[in-house]
Amino acid sequence: MRVRGLRRVYGDVVALDGVDLDFAVGTFTAVMGPSGSGKSTLLQCAAGLDRPSGGTVRVDGVELGGLGERRLTLLRRDRIGFVFQSFNLLPSLTAAQNVALPLRLAGRRPSRGAVRAALDRVGLGERAGHRPAELSGGQQQRVALARALITRPAVLFGDEPTGALDTTTSREVLGLLRELVDREGQTTVMVTHDPVAASHADRVVFLVDGRVSGELTAPSAEAVAAHMAGLERGAGAGGSGPAAEVAGAVGRTGDAGVTGGAGRAGVVVGRSSSC
């Protein structure tokens, strides 16, 4: 996926101001930045949920701007997965029925096997008959992930997918996202405010005022927190927010020992269109 010169203007608010980014197949990118910096707008435009005011978005070889509503809807349904902070599951439906719902609404009838396979991919094959109220927050988000993944989308987007979860459950979902990238080459783009969450990604892109202000590759939580603290100081926020507080937290889950901390991070300052 690639975006070029992406702009989104709402009235006199410039939410995105010329964003150029590449998202290589099979990579996991975190998007961070102060509140209002354009993170959700970037995801919505990249996912074809919102039409940009300018610039281009190419997903899976297709320029979204050239598509009419019908073809855009089909591409969104088949090639794009999206999960949100709130899991958006229907409480009266079982996990399996929730996973099948988007396809059923589109007039398709996914087989039980396909639904079960989607739930298996997120480790919930045994919970197919459970309703959301009978599942933990992390399990509910995993059902939402299964629903997003059932079509095998080219890109999975998450807008603060762990924002409503406690630390332990959040790590569980992040571990799963990482596994989907490593095991299945699932291209993934996730907005997060949490440096530890971002450290699960291959790279972090920082947005400020609708522009890319920098990137970190192989990010450690410490490096991300330090970068965010700098951005918040730059924005006059004093640098004492949550990002600053987690400086010193552990690096990416699964790293051997503590040597994988800040030393692994490669800092790329300024815009970069390579990946």
Ligand X SMILES: Nc1ncnc2c1ncn2[C@@H]1O[C@H](COP(=O)(O)OP(=O)(O)OP(=O)(O)O)[C@@H](O)[C@H]1O
In the complex, which residues of this chain contact Mg ion (CB under 5 A)?
Answer: 40
Q: Report the residue number, 144 or 228, with the smaller CB distance to ligand X.
A: 228
Cα–Cα distance list, 138 to 7, 59, 144, 233 (Å): 34, 29, 10, 33
CA nearest 152: which of 80, 102, 87?
Answer: 80
Complete DSSP assignment for 74-141: HHHHHHEEEEESS----TTS-HHHHHHHHHHHTT----HHHHHHHHHHTT-GGGTT--GGGS-HHHHH
Which residues in 38-67 contact ligand X (CB under 6 A)?
38-41
Instruction: Kindly tell me which residue out of 35, 168, 259, 274 binds ligand X, with binding defined by CB under 6 A.
Output: 35
Least distance in Å: CB of 224 to ligand X? 15
- Residue 213 binds ligand X, judged by CB under 6 A: no
13 binds ligand X (CB under 6 A): yes
Question: By CB under 6 A, is residue 110 in contact with ligand X?
Answer: no
Residue 45 CB coordination number (10 Å) = 24
**Contacted entry of ligand X, Mg ion, none for residue 25, CB cut-off 5 to 8 Å set by kind:** none
**Among the listed residues 1, 3, 6, 15, the single contact to ligand X using CB under 6 A:** 15
Stated as kind and residue range, the H or E segment containing 63 is: strand 62-63
- Name the minimum Å distance from CB 68 to Mg ion: 28
Q: Which residues bind ligand X (CB under 6 A)?
A: 10, 13, 15, 33, 35-41
